[in-house]
Structure 1
Amino acid sequence: MLVEHILRRKGRRLATVDPQATIARALEILAHDNIGALPVVEGDTIIGMISERDVARGLVDRGASLLDTPVSGVMSTRITTCRPDTNIDDLMTMMTERRIRHVPVLDDDGSLAGMVSIGDAVKSRLDELETEAQALRDYVAGVQ
């Protein structure tokens, strides 16, 4: 199964945040959309990622004043991306090895096509295993 299959199922709608937005604004978007990370974009280009984990670590270091800090001051700039034709197993391996939970998906032209979370990848893999298990049960039962 490919990342494209996940994007088709969950949609390509994607919340983003501007690097000059405050951390408070980023948290509003995360809460409103019930998500754990946001791509930070400048124009059409992804320049970073901001996650709940980044904010939690920033709060420990800077306290409540962090909320008025621009996203650019806290965002991660080492971005791991994938493409729609990335295999889900390869994506899960990459996410596990790099200890990341959200991966932006870039089209061939480098434009942001969506986001895949580790939860999306696990659900996709479980759905695939259930389909295989059902096919085997049907085969053993003689169902055609």
Structure 2
Amino acid sequence: MKTVAELLKLKDVQHRVPHTVRPDQKVVEVIMLMADKNIGAVPVVQDGKVVGIVSERDYVRKMELKGRASVGTPVSDIMTHDVKTVNSNATVDQCMNIMTDLRLRHLPVVDDGQLVGLLSIGDLVKEAIAEQGRLIEKMQQYIRGESY
């Protein structure tokens, strides 16, 4: 199974380094960014460190359902503060376990205190499917008596 570093290298150039926001930015700015870039979550960074993450789920639960205005509300009011991160040496399996156990859809990748990527559950599912395909091909080669 691949490492996070290998998986990040496979991502489109435009998606390798994630978009970020500051805690003092307004929620409306984050929602516009997510809509414009077609992304579901954005790491919140202050002084180069990940201090949180804000997702569509955060917006719905902490803004829409409470009738709050996104124009005047800072991101820090709705972001998830206790953000779970992994480093680029983690495996895809480890990330899938973390995301499944904690019911996460996005996982920031941090090396030496710096944000280097953002994994989505979709990234991990695509890799799991590809890994299964590789394994099936190896099994078929073995059954046919071919070297693999």
TM-score of Structure 1 vs Structure 2, range by shorter chain: over 0.9
Unaligned runs of 5+ in 2: none
CA distance in 2: counterparts of 1:23 and 1:49, whole angstroms: 12
1:53 aligns with 2:46: no
User: TM-score under structure 2 normalisation?
Assistant: 0.90
TM-score normalised by L of structure 1: 0.92
Q: Which residue of 1 aligns with 2:88?
A: 84
Letter in 1 for 2:47: G
Secondary structure of 1:116's match?
Answer: strand
**Separation of aligned partners in 2, 1:50 and 1:97:** 19
Q: Structure 2 matches for 1:48-127, cutoff 5 A?
A: 48-57=52-61, 58-63=63-68, 65-107=69-111, 109-127=112-130
Instruction: Single out whichever of 22-31 and 131-140 deviates more from structure 2.
Output: 131-140
1:45-99 deviations in whole A, cap 9, x for unaligned?
1111100000011211134x13431111111101000011111111111111111
**Equivalent residue number for residue 27 of structure 1:** 31
Unaligned runs of 5+ in 1: none
Mapped partners of 2:125, 2:71: distance in 1 = 32
Amino acid at match of 2:91: N
Task: Report the Cα distance in structure 2 between the residues aligned to 1:15 and 1:66, rounded to whole angstroms.
Answer: 19
Q: Distance in 2 between matches of 1:68 and 1:139?
A: 62
Question: Quick one: distance in 2 between partners of 1:53 and 1:41?
Answer: 19
RMSD: 1.3
Identical residues among aligned pairs (%): 35
The corresponding residue for 1:137 is 140
Q: Which runs of 4+ in 1 moved over 4 A?
A: none
